Amino acid sequence: MENTSGDSFAHDSRRQCAPLLRALFAFGLAASGCQPAVAADRDLSEPRNCSSHGTFVHALAAACRTTAIALLLAIVQVSSSFAEAPPVDEARVKAAFVLRFVQYVEWPREALQPNSGPVKIGVVGAPAIAAELVQAARNNQPRPITVQPLTGAENAGQFHVVFIGDDEKARLASIVAAVRGKPTLVISESPSALDQGSMINFVTVERRVKFEIALVAAEKAGLALSSRLLAVALRVHKGGLDRADMIARAIGLPHI
């Protein structure tokens, strides 16, 4: 008894795969200098102008290898783009943090009366974060916020908060010097910024935005940071010792 179901399945498989095979054959033939048959119903195993069947098979194998390599490279490229892409809302997250910081920092009365008058934020560089701050400040509660670009250090002391973007980190030291002795909260997003006088510095840990605090620098500026803010910081630097170091010394562990 003939296996008609098996023959039918094989026929259907060949019919469904024919377009893909034709494309691969044409690609392989072009690579080898062969010309494929023009008629759509012509036997795919009969390429024209080929010196031998072996040449055609070799061309087809080369085409398959080329296609596989191209697909693999495409997959690797897409995977790399996802792995290396920065967080989509990083600027928005940092802007939201800055506005939250304002709620947990107390300025001297002569600099800013509680619940009266706007908090003035100056931004150096970081255009994406500046735009997010402007947008978020429109709906900020409980007190109004003004956001202005800051191009130099000479006017930095007029602001309650100065944010210095990583693209302008070269100006960090001069801005810190300009606001020294004034109740201005300096926020940054650069490595080792706390060592240069910044008070709150953003860091990225496992693709998440965190922040570290230099408590002494803030206190010298006359700013009081809430314990709630200190509790959620990644690190709190106090007189050269961060929070982990202070705990270690308190329980008798050696300083690392």
Alpha carbons 156 and 177: distance in angstroms, whole number:
10
Domain map of the chain by residue range?
4-84, 90-250
Please state, rounded to an integer, the average pLDDT across all residues of the chain. Answer: 74
pLDDT above 70 coverage of the chain, percent? 56
Average confidence (pLDDT) over 161-187: 95
Residue 18's pLDDT band, with cuts at 50, 70 and 90, is: low
Q: What is the model's pTM?
A: 0.61
Which three-class secondary structure state does DSSP give residue 197? coil
84-99 pLDDT, tens digit each: 334 448 999 999 999 9
pLDDT at 58: 58
- Tell the residue number behind the tokens 């926020």, with chain if given: 187
State residue 81's pLDDT score.
35
Strands (E), 130-179: 145-149, 161-164
Amino acid at site 180: R
181 versus 7: which is more confidently predicted?
181
pLDDT reading at 14 higher than 70: no
Domain at 90-250: CATH code: 3.40.50
Q: Is residue 212 within 8 Å of 236, Cβ to Cβ?
A: yes
The band of 152, judged by pLDDT with boundaries at 50, 70 and 90, is confident
AA identity, residue 221: A
Residue 111 confidence (pLDDT) above 70: yes
Provide φ and ψ at 186, rounded to 5°: -100, 125
pLDDT of residue 147: 95
Separation of alpha carbons 23 and 183, rounded Å: 71
